Amino acid sequence: MSYANFPPGSLASRLAQAPVPLQFGTSGRRGLLVHLSQLEIVVNALAELEYLQSLPRAEGGIVRGDAFYYAYDLRPSSSAYLEGEPKRGELAQAIEYAIGAAGMQAVNLGRIPTPALTYYGVSRGKGSIMVTGSHIPFDRNGYKTNTSRGELLKHHESPINRKVEEVRARLYGQAYEDSPFDERGLFKAGHAALGAESDEAAAAYAGRYEEFFGAEALAGLRLVVYQHSAVGRDLLVDILRRLGAEAFTAGRSESFVPIDTENIDAAQLAAIQALADEARARHGRIDAVVSTDGDSDRPLILGVDADTGAVRFFGGDLVGMVAAEYLAPDAVVVPISCNDAIDRGGLKDLVEAKTRIGSPYVIAGMEAARLKGKQSVCGWEANGGFLTGTELSKNGKTLAALPTRDAVLPIIAVLSSAKAQRTSLGGLFDRLPRRYSRAALIKQFPRSQGLAIVSRFSPGDSGIADARHSTHGWMALAADGKALEPTAAEIQALDGVRRELGAYFTPELGFGAIDGLNFVDGVRIYFDNGDVAHLRPSGNADELRIYAVADTQARADAIAASAVAEPDGILRRLAQAIA
C-alpha cells in the first residue's frame, strides 16, 4: 500500500515509520516489537473482528454489541509501554480499543493462560483475543484471536488478510487531526488503564480439572512448580493443590524468561536441576518438576530420580503419548514432527493422517476424524500442547472439548497415570517404545533462508507428501495417505534430493543411507539405521529448527547437536549451499 494514495492531511502522510504488516505465524500473529505499533495491532485486530462479525454463529461468528473477551501474558510489552525508539507496548490496550471500535463490549479477563481464555470464550459462545508472544524472544510479541467456536483456522487467513487491507486503508486515510493515533502509531492520549479484571475465566479453568479428576487425583505426589514468568504460574499451583498434590514453588522471575518447551538446553536443564536440588534439601522427596511456557499452553515435565535426585526431561511428543494413553481416545491427531514412537506403541492403530505443524492443522485433523465418526478425539504437538476435539470420558466424568493447546491437561494426565500405575515418571516413560527425540534450533536465522533450504530439498510442485526408497525404487504417498505413482521427472528429483542431502548427513556423522523423505511440513529425512532428522523454519520467528529422533537419547542429542553446531554444522552448510 503506497502512501501516495492518501491525501496530504491523512494519518498515512504523517507516519514516521513505514508499516511492516503483521503476519500470521504457526498460530496467531507474531512480529518484532519494533514493528508492533498500536496502530498496526488495531488494524489487524479490528479486521479480524469485522470478519468474525460476517460469519454465522455456527461457523464461529460474533455479533456487534455482544461481549468479547481478552487476556494477556506477563511479557512487559503486553500491557505496558517500553521506553526506547520507537516507543512500543500496551498491546492489550490496543486490543481493548479495537474491540470497542468493532462495536463489541470488551471484557478484561486479566493475566491468564491462553487455554483458560479460550475455554471460557468457547463455553459461552464468545470470541476472544490473547495478547502473547508465547515462548519467542523478548524483542517480539503478538496476539491470537479465537472465534466463538475456537481458534482461527488456516482457511480464515486469506479473507482476513483482505479485510486487513480494507481496514488499513480506512484508518490510514482518516484525517490526522481526527485520528486517535500519532506519528509513531501510538495513541495520542498516551497511557490507558485497562478495564477492570474479571477472575471468572481463571476460576472456570481450575474448576474444569477439579471436576473431571477429583480432589484426590494427585494425593501423595510432591511436585516443584517452576514458575519463571509463565502467566499461569500461580493458577497451575492452585490446580495441582486442588487435586491433592503437595506443590512447592521455585524459580519465580519478575523479568520475562522466554521458555521454549521444545528447546530445553543444557543451561536451562542445569537451572532446573538446581531448583530441584534446593527443593529436595528443604522439603524431602520430590516426584516431578512441572512448568509451562510463557502463555501456559505448552507443558514442561521432568521426573526426579528418587535415589540420585537427577531430573529427566520428557519431550512434549512423548508427554502427549502418555497423556493420550491415560485418557483413552478412539482417534489421535499429531503433526509430522512428533516422535515416531507413536507408530509403534499402543496408540498406533488410532493415529489419523499426520498434519502440518501448528495447532490449526491439528484442529482440522481432529475435526476430520470427528466427521468420520470418531467419538473421542484428541491431539498434541511436539511441544506437548494437548488438544481435545470432542468430549472425553473417564471414571464416570466427562471433560468438555477444548480445541486449543493446553498445558495443564497433559501435566495432570501424566501424573495421574504414574500414580495409577504406581511407578515413577521415569518408569512410566520407560514403558513407551524406545524412541528418543531432541529438538534444537539456530536463532537469528532468516525465515526466507530456511524456506529456501526447504524448497531446494523438495520435489518441486509435486503432490508427493511422503516417499520411501528401496532397491525397487520409490514408493510415494499424497498428503491424505493415498498411493501415488511418481513420474520419471519426480523420480529424478527425489534421487537428486536424496543424493544431495546424503552429502551433508554423512556416515562420518553416524547417519545411514537415506531411505525416506517427507514433505508435509519442511523436510523430514529417514535413514536406514532408524535415525530421523526433520528440518523446518519456525513460523513465528527467524529460527531454523531440527527435530531429531533415534533409538537412543544420546544419538538423538548428537543429531541435533551436529545440525546446529557453529560455525559449520549441517544447517549452516545447507544455508551455504543455497546462498
Could you list the active site residues? Answer: 134
Closest CA to 60 of 179, 143, 147, 130: 147
Fill in the DSSP letter of residue 488. Answer: H
Query: Could you tell me the strand order of the sheet in which 288-292 lies?
Result: 246-252, 222-228, 288-292, 299-304, 311-313
Q: Radius of gyration (Cα) for the chain, nearest Å?
A: 24
C-alpha distance from residue 89 to each of 102, 191, 210 (Å): 21, 10, 36
Give the list of residues 6+ apart from residue 396 with CB closer than 8 angstroms, or none. none
The one-letter amino acid at 383:
N
Give the list of residues 6+ apart from residue 444 with CB closer than 8 angstroms, or none. 542, 543
332 DSSP β-pair partners: 351, 378
Closest CA to 358 of 478, 526, 231, 538: 538
Gap between the Cα atoms of 130 and 138, Å rounded: 17
- Grid coordinates representing 445 are 536465522
Gap between the Cα atoms of 324 and 9, Å rounded: 59
Gap between the Cα atoms of 488 and 477, Å rounded: 16
Neighbours of 487 (CB within 10 A): 12
Element (H, E) at 164: helix 154-172
534 DSSP β-pair partners: 524, 547
Q: Exposure of 365 by Cβ count < 10 A (0-12 exposed, 13-18 middle, 19+ buried)? A: buried
Going along 188-333, which residue ranges are E strands? 222-228, 246-252, 288-292, 299-304, 311-313, 331-333
Write down the residue that cell numbers 521415569 correspond to: 426
Q: Cβ distance 124 to 14 under 8 Å?
A: no
Closest CA to 474 of 520, 514, 511: 514
Residue 100 has phi, psi (to 5 degrees) of: -65, -40
Q: What one-character-per-residue DSSP string does 338-356 give?
A: S-GGGGTSTTGGGB---B-
